[in-house]
Amino acid sequence: MSVFIDFDQAVYPFPPKPASLDADQKAFYRERIKALLVEKNAVIVAHYYTDPEIQALAEETGGCVADSLEMARFGARHHASTLLVAGVRFMGETAKILSPEKNVLMPTLDAQCSLDIGCPDEEFARFCDAHPDRTVVVYANTSAAVKARADWVVTSSIAVELIEHLDSLGEKIIWAPDKHLGRYVQQQTGADILCWQGACIVHDEFKTQSLEKMKAMYPDAAVLVHPESPQAIVDLADAVGSTSQLIKAAQNLPNPSMIVATDKGIFYKMQQACPDKALYIAPTAGEGATCRTCAHCPWMAMNGLQAIAAALEGDDVTHQIHVSEQLREKAMQPLNKMLKFAESLK
């Protein structure tokens, strides 16, 4: 399909890493942020893939550390007037769509996502227009404009259930943007899915042969895989699931150790969930490896302490998320459908 972005050719201008801070500077910024959160009636809503010190600070200050579905829910129901979203831009946009009355700040608006970048709204709209008989389901990792074009938004934690539901109604699906998750969902449900060809730069880098070698080195370890990973990696998994589901699997599986194929930021909460188990990062090195990310999203890594303090200090132009009311109203409909569907599964 000519409208697809050729992911293999896509070039992502990786952002600079935040300046590294010494222990005194970190302590200074942590205290400054705590004071600003109180002063601004703000709360930190952080993703599992942010750095451990950001997740710890979110927990310490009454915020949340979660997957994108729970981040959206938490932000919408929390009484704070300001949400400081530590994650990537689509997460800030989702928070603003669901909580228009709140001030939504991000440490940096340059924190992108390869799935979002790889699914430009105008091209995607043309693709959808070319297949008017299909229900459009987009992953949460998309811009507000792409969500506005969709019938449903979905996260990886409920993707299989939603597609099963739509398939049972006889609906044919357009899935975007992640090709690996789309393929996984198609295999699990047997649904008729036409898939956009985006990919996550982190999960796309896990290497099969190196993972097989690692399994041989740690025969007692279970392999946990996020379904944004390539098929050959999913085939080696003992458990496949969203970030929250992988944390639960680490807790529930009897194995003493886990090899984990997702962003290593997850280790903070996974280790809390099973403190006695050893956790290993699945290999990103091996034949054909570029290791551009080495299992840590470069955009998630932009959420440093200094940037959080700057966002809360009130420089609105560079930190505040804006979504036009017209776009917000359109994007809210598929998001609300997702939230209601997720509720119905509980």
Q: Which residues bind ligand SF4 (CB under 6 A)?
A: 49, 88, 113-115, 141, 200-202, 263, 297, 299-300
| Pairing of β 152-154 and β 193-195 | unpaired
For residue 95, the minimal CB distance to ligand SF4 (Å) is 15
Question: Among residues 166 and 201, whose Cβ is nearest to ligand SF4?
Answer: 201
- Using omega within 30 degrees of 0 as the cis cutoff, is the peptide bond preceding 177 cis? yes
Q: Is 180 annotated as a binding residue?
A: no
Q: Is 139 annotated as a binding residue?
A: yes
Q: How far apart are CA 102 and CA 82, in angstroms?
A: 6
For residue 28, the minimal CB distance to ligand SF4 (Å) is 28
Q: In Å, what is the CA distance from 250 to each residue of 50, 222, 284? A: 19, 8, 20
For residue 298, the minimal CB distance to ligand SF4 (Å) is 8
| Pairing of β 257-261 and β 221-225 | parallel
Report the largest interatomic distance among the alpha carbons of the chain, rounded to a whole angstrom: 60
Q: Is 157 annotated as a binding residue?
A: no
For residue 177, the minimal CB distance to ligand SF4 (Å) is 10
Residue with tokens 């946990």: 224
Q: 103: phi > 0 → left, psi -120 to 50 → alpha, else beta; which?
A: beta
Question: Among residues 36 and 176, whose Cβ is nearest to ligand SF4?
Answer: 176
Q: How far apart are CA 145 and CA 327, in angstroms?
A: 7
Token pair listed for 321:
């998320």
Question: Among residues 50 and 103, whose Cβ is nearest to ligand SF4?
Answer: 50
Environment class of 346 (CB within 10 Å of its CB; exposed 0-12, middle 13-18, buried 19+): exposed
For residue 24, the minimal CB distance to ligand SF4 (Å) is 30
Q: Is 228 annotated as a binding residue?
A: yes
Q: Is 195 annotated as a binding residue?
A: no
Q: How far apart are CA 293 and CA 224, in angstroms?
A: 19
Q: Is 226 annotated as a binding residue?
A: yes
Q: In Å, what is the CA distance from 237 to each residue of 205, 207, 335? A: 16, 13, 30
Q: Is 322 annotated as a binding residue?
A: no
The three-class DSSP label of residue 137 is strand
Residue with tokens 């070039």: 11
Question: Among residues 37 and 195, whose Cβ is nearest to ligand SF4?
Answer: 195
Question: Among residues 42 and 300, whose Cβ is nearest to ligand SF4?
Answer: 300
The residues, any chain, with a CB within 8 Å of residue 148's CB and separated by 6 or more, are: 121, 327, 330, 331
Q: How far apart are CA 21 and CA 287, in angstroms?
A: 35
Question: Among residues 112 and 189, whose Cβ is nearest to ligand SF4?
Answer: 112
Question: Among residues 264 and 328, whose Cβ is nearest to ligand SF4?
Answer: 264
Q: Is 227 annotated as a binding residue?
A: yes
Q: How far apart are CA 30 and CA 44, in angstroms?
A: 12
Nearest to 104 by CA among 119, 117, 86: 86
For residue 263, the minimal CB distance to ligand SF4 (Å) is 5
Question: Among residues 37 and 181, whose Cβ is nearest to ligand SF4?
Answer: 181
For residue 106, the minimal CB distance to ligand SF4 (Å) is 13
Q: Is 156 annotated as a binding residue?
A: yes
For residue 286, the minimal CB distance to ligand SF4 (Å) is 19
Please report, in range form, the residues annotated as the binding site.
47, 68, 113, 139-141, 156, 200, 226-228, 243, 297
Please report, in range form, the residues annotated as the binding site for iminosuccinate.
47, 68, 139-141, 156, 226-228, 243
Please report, in range form, the residues annotated as the binding site for [4Fe-4S] cluster.
113, 200, 297
